Amino acid sequence: MQPSSLRSGRAGPAGGVCAGRRSSGRVSGGELFDFLAQKESLSEEEATSFIKQILDGVNYLHAKKIAHFDLKPENIMLLDKNIPIPHIKLIDFGLAHEIEDGVEFKNIFGTPEFVAPEIVNYEPLGLEADMWSIGVITYILLSGASPFLGDTKQETLANITAVSYDFDEEFFSQTSELAKDFIRKLLVKETRKRLTIQEALRHPWITSKGEDRAPEQRKTEPTQLKTKRLREYTLKCHSSMPPNNTYVNFERFAHVVEDVAWVDQGCHALAGAHDTIQDDVEALVSIFNEKEAWYREENESARHDLSQLRYEFRKVESLKKLLREDIQTTASGLGSVARKLDHLQVQFEALRQELSADLQWIQELVGSCQPESGSTDGLGSVFCWDTSEPLAEPSDRSGSKEVLAGLKL
């Protein structure tokens, strides 16, 4: 929605410049360029005064953060052409837009010959686009030639994006260096380096009077600029302009470029999504590879542990077999010992019986010898002799050596 001050045609505060839509009741003087084309000649001072009025009108808009976006000769009208320096009025705000801080605005519109590079390139737009258009208008006003106009609209747009223009001596031989400097500082592709409306109003070409300029500049500057080429340019523009005062093909082209830009944006989004998915896949593959390597290491470790367990198991089985053999050998040895022990017990029992019989025999012998001896000593010596002899004799008889050998075993 356009601001009401732009729709109502209310006069702005600067230089008698009004802002409104095209209205024949308010602009009886016609177009500025038609008025200038009818003049035999135009002084640079007159041109400066008209550009100053255009700047004042644009300053009124830019102070409200409103960009016109369609500044061109056809939209600069005269309130009354019957005065020496007519007041002008900016019209046709159909493309005007309020520029908001932090809000990006892009569009492709306007008349190809006057649009800024950022419009052609579908870049974020601002108040700077109007300053470019003022540079083009100033160039045409002083020379009667268009700086970027090509044989086709595509060529015109290419010239704009390349900022391909020059000050041909044929057209600018009578133009001051200050005027050229003013144009150069407006036709700058980088928006940050382009003159703002305030800087343009302070430019020496706008602020200085003819008598204030340097003497050498006044010497080389003729007082009059021929308007023949400007008349030819105006006639050419009117003859090539459609009845509705618009460039239909360019608008169609603008829509196509918009669609292409939308598709391009979608492709960029898809490319971004593809990159994101690819990153996710690569991350998952990396995690899988790490897990696979970990499982492989764990598998190798488990396999090694299992092999070690099998070795230990075989070792235990071997020890178990040896132990079983040792147990069998020990059991066999114990059986042999038990048999020998039984044999020794039998021998011992036989020996005991023999000793018992021998002792009984000794007792009987002692008993038979005691009354005869009459002395105790004699009995003891007899007892000792008789006792040792019978003991030795049975031991010889029973095989005492075998008993001793058995005991050693």
Q: Report how far residue 14's alpha carbon sits from residue 55's, in angstroms, rounded to the nearest whole number.
A: 9
Q: What distance in Å separates the CA atoms of residue 253 and residue 149, rounded to the nearest whole number?
A: 17
Are 239 and 51 spatial neighbours (Cβ–Cβ below 8 Å)? no
Assess contact for 95 and 81: CB atoms under 8 A.
no
What are 15's two structure tokens?
Answer: 């230089």
DSSP class of residue 212?
G
**3-class DSSP assignment, residue 193:** helix
What would the 3-class secondary structure string for 7-18 be? Answer: HCCCECCCCCCE
In 163-247, where does DSSP find H-type helix? 169-172, 177-186, 197-201, 204-207, 215-220, 228-240
SS3 of 277, please? helix
Q: Judge contact between 69 and 109, C-beta under 8 A.
A: yes
Measured at the CA of 310, the angle between CA 307 and CA 313, to 5 degrees, comes to 155
C-alpha distances in Å from residue 78, one per residue of 13, 60, 90, 241, 247: 17, 18, 9, 20, 23
Largest CA distance in the chain: 202
State how far the Cα of 321 lies from the Cα of 336, in Å rounded to an integer. 23
Sign of the dihedral defined by the CA atoms of residues 32, 38, 39, 40, in that order: positive
The number of beta carbons lying within 10 Å of the beta carbon of residue 400 is 14
The β-bridge partners of 226 are 41
CA distances from 238 to 30, 34, 242, 326 (A): 13, 10, 8, 127
Active site residues: 70
113: Cβ contacts below 8 Å, ≥ 6 apart: 72, 136, 146, 148, 149, 156
